[in-house]
Amino acid sequence: MNKRLSGKRALVTGGSRGIGAAIAKRLATEGADVALTYTSAPQKAEETVKALQAVGVKARAIKADSADAAALTAAVEEAAAALGGLDILVNSAGIIAVGPVESFKLADFDRMLAVNVRAAFVASQAAARHMKEGGRIITIGSCNADRMPFPGGAVYAMTKSALVGLVKGMARDLGPRGITVNNIQPGPVNTDGNPDSGEFAELLKKQFVALHRYASADEVAGLVAYVASPEAAYVTGASLTIDGGFNA
């Protein structure tokens, strides 16, 4: 593996499992020291840290609920102190709740806004204070920002659409400092929380995904690694879709 991120320091929110863990591992494989946040399941977080350390980089797990702005800001500061600075932030923490508009709980609405949108701003604001020219801020959005083809996903789609505007605005603010800000929009990804088997998954694969399969978390991580790399220095304010043709 090309060590194109050697010497870089990265923080991945929600990096203990699923897409976040795959991203953390890919950044480490390419040479970056990596801190990650987790909300629960400390054993999963430590397993991921050990996997990162096994490739010879510094790694640290930090417990922080992304819905808690103070805790998330403190986690960014801890990561920067532990790694000696920050060059890359990946806002990977995210949650989903679905249900009809008529009965959708306001508490679920508020928490999704807090984790999926506010946390991305809070972490980016804190991390940008540590970044120098060449810094990278990357959010993990969703192809549902552009297309929500089934009922029940209105609020989730709204939160992911909000990231598109946030990234465009932050790209303008941070561009003069040589910091890029981008948004990765996956389609269906095979994770523990969203397995590629079962009745719903089969419906998605056959009727919505052009490639008739889910992505692996590693495929998403590969696109994140590119955006974090020197090769992507002229990519900013972009929403890059990796959805197997879901939105085609």
Domain boundaries, the chain: 9-240
pLDDT attached to residue 1:
60
pLDDT attached to residue 2:
77
- Out of 3.40.50.720, 3.30.2400.10, 3.90.480.20, 3.30.930.10, the CATH code matching 9-240 is 3.40.50.720
pLDDT in tens, 185-200: 999 999 998 999 999 9
Residue corresponding to tokens 């909300």: 39
Contacts of 50 (CB under 8 A, 6+ apart): 59
Ordered DSSP codes for 14-34:
TTTSHHHHHHHHHHHHTT-EE
Q: Active-site residue numbers?
A: 156
pLDDT in tens, 136-171: 999 999 999 999 999 999 999 999 999 999 999 999
pLDDT in tens, 55-86: 999 999 999 999 999 999 999 999 999 999 99
Report helix, strand or coil for 181.
strand
